[in-house]
């Protein structure tokens, strides 16, 4: 299980990112069946979770202030974001692949929470296990699309090498632009990270693993 020091400092919450050996973090496995019924679609829709096993439909961002209900995302290369208010009153989970990042899922999520009275500066976030830029080669067309979409950023931030897109850097940029109070990167690359025994740490869609083998990033109050 991968954890975040920032989230661990938030009172009253449980969190973790799964690995190849435990796709759902072990401390959260007992509550896993209580999660919302959802379908991630690489979009920008967010859903407030208020009931156990809530029907959330097609969405990629989930937040709750209800105790005991896990909010989660599953990934196998995309960016999993786990976020929490520093006082432990609310938590959120976002799934941000290249489509979601390009469409502005993080900014749209925070626009919605601001309208509900939330201040991003009161929140912290963990950017979880994600494919690294060295492993993530994209088409020239997509690379150019991202250069235009993020024209204000240095090109080397978006594409550290030719046609290699840095999803983590883009997620960080969006969190900074939203004004979060703190964030950290945890877990390493889903495609190439290995443990001390040489075994691959995570499942990776790019490496050939399929949807049924995605790991979960989970929080609950």
Give per-residue pLDDT as tens, 120-133.
999 999 999 999 99
Residues 6+ apart with CB under 8 A from 62: 36, 38, 46, 47, 49, 56, 71, 72, 73, 92, 93, 94
Strand-pairing partners, residue 77, are none
- 7 by DSSP, 3-state: which? helix
With a pLDDT cut of 90, the percent of the chain lying above it is 91
Query: Which tokens in the block code for residue 16?
Result: 């973790």
pLDDT: which is higher, 214 or 210: 214
Cα separation of 45 and 215, whole Å? 21
CB atoms within 10 A of CB 196: 5
Residues 102-131, mean pLDDT to the nearest whole number: 97
Q: What is the mean pLDDT of residues 132-145?
A: 96
Report the residue count for the chain.
221
Q: What is the pLDDT of residue 99?
A: 96
Given this model, what pLDDT does residue 212 score?
58
* Res. 211: pLDDT tops 60: no
Among 162, 47, 28, which Cα is nearest to 109's?
A: 47
Q: What is the pLDDT of residue 206?
A: 86
pLDDT at 207: 82
The values of phi and psi at residue 154, to 5°, are -60, 140
Q: Give residue 210's pLDDT.
A: 62
For 103, the token pair is 């469409």
Lookup result for tokens 């024209």:
151
> 5-132+167-220 — its CATH code?
3.60.140.10
Could you give the CA distance from residue 171 to residue 67 in angstroms, rounded to a whole number? Answer: 27
The mean pLDDT value for 37-54 works out to 96
Please state whether beta strands 14-17 and 215-220 pair in parallel, antiparallel, or not at all (unpaired).
Answer: antiparallel
DSSP 81-107: EEEEETTSS-EEEEEE-HHHHHHTHHH
């Amino acid at each position: 299980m991968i954890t975040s020091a920032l989230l661990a400092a938030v009172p009253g919450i449980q969190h973790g990112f799964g690995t190849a050996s435990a796709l759902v973090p072990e401390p959260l496995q007992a509550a896993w069946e209580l999660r919302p019924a959802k379908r991630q679609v690489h979009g920008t829709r967010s859903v407030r979770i208020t009931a156990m096993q809530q029907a959330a439909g097609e969405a990629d961002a989930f937040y709750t202030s209800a105790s005991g209900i896990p909010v989660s995302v599953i990934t196998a290369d995309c960016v999993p974001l786990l976020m929490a208010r520093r006082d432990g009153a609310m938590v959120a989970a976002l799934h941000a692949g290249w489509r979601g990042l390009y469409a502005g899922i993080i900014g749209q999520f925070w626009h919605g929470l601001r309208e509900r009275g939330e201040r991003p500066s009161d929140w912290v976030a963990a950017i979880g296990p994600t494919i690294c830029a060295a492993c993530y080669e994209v088409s020239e067309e997509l690379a150019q699309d991202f250069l235009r979409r993020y024209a204000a950023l240095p090109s080397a931030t978006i594409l550290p090498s030719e046609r290699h897109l840095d999803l983590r850097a883009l997620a960080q940029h969006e969190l900074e632009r939203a004004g979060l109070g703190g964030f950290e990167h945890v877990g390493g690359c889903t495609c190439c990270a290995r443990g001390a025994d040489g075994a691959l740490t995570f499942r990776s869609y790019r490496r050939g693993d399929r949807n049924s083998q995605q790991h979960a990033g989970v929080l609950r109050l």
